[in-house]
Amino acid sequence: MKAKIAVATVSGKAYYKLVNELKERDIPFLSLTPRDTVPQRVKVAITTGKERHLIKHPNVLIFNEEKDPATVVNKALRLVKGKKSYEKVVIGVDPGKTFGLAVLGDGNVLETSTCSSSEETVSTIMKVLNRAPTAVSELKIGNGAPAYTKQLL
């Protein structure tokens, strides 16, 4: 699959955070400097606020280095798919000593993560709901570990 997202920055901190998020989620991307020409196949370019004026592309997202890169990556994925928001977001939780989370937007995996406590799990779920615009959100909790499920509820 050819990259449809470009990371166009010379900021070490922004590049590091964005690239780690994209690699962690196995999302192909293209690395550019802000002055590089963005190939036509790229649907979204991500850069910093300071470098925005250097990018010539119709879809440019600005990443704040102090924020969570997952937010801008999720927005980029939506734009690549031609969506402003998801019709339905499903968050699946697999309770246990370590809680597993999977987030699906319109049936596509947006992100996966693990949490070490029920408190961290609830916090992660709230963050996901705040950054994934959707008409309908659904939370599904597995019942394979009843004690941990009860802890979460």
Looking at residue 105, its pLDDT comes to 87
Looking at residue 85, its pLDDT comes to 81
**Residues 35 and 93 both lie in one domain:** no
Looking at residue 63, its pLDDT comes to 97
**Residues 73 and 102 both lie in one domain:** no
Domain count, the chain: 2
**Residues 38 and 94 both lie in one domain:** no
Looking at residue 128, its pLDDT comes to 85
**Residues 34 and 71 both lie in one domain:** yes
Looking at residue 1, its pLDDT comes to 55
Looking at residue 34, its pLDDT comes to 95
**Residues 68 and 105 both lie in one domain:** no
Q: Residue 118: enclosing H or E segment and its boundaries?
A: helix 118-131
Looking at residue 48, its pLDDT comes to 97
Comparing CA positions, the residue from 125, 117, 126, 124 lying closest to residue 148 is 117
Q: Report d(CA 31, CA 88) in Å as an integer.
A: 31
Q: Which domain holds residue 97?
A: 86-152
**Residues 17 and 64 both lie in one domain:** yes
User: Could you tell me the CATH number of the domain that includes residue 105?
Assistant: 3.30.420
Looking at the DSSP assignment, which residues form a beta bridge with residue 141? 93
**Residues 63 and 91 both lie in one domain:** no
What is the number of other CB atoms lying within 10 angstroms of the CB of residue 90?
18
Give the domain-ending residue among 80, 99, 118.
80
Tens place of pLDDT for every residue, the chain, 153 residues? 588 999 999 999 999 999 999 998 889 999 999 999 999 999 999 999 999 999 999 999 999 999 889 889 989 988 998 888 888 999 999 999 999 999 998 888 888 889 999 999 999 999 888 877 788 889 999 988 888 888 777
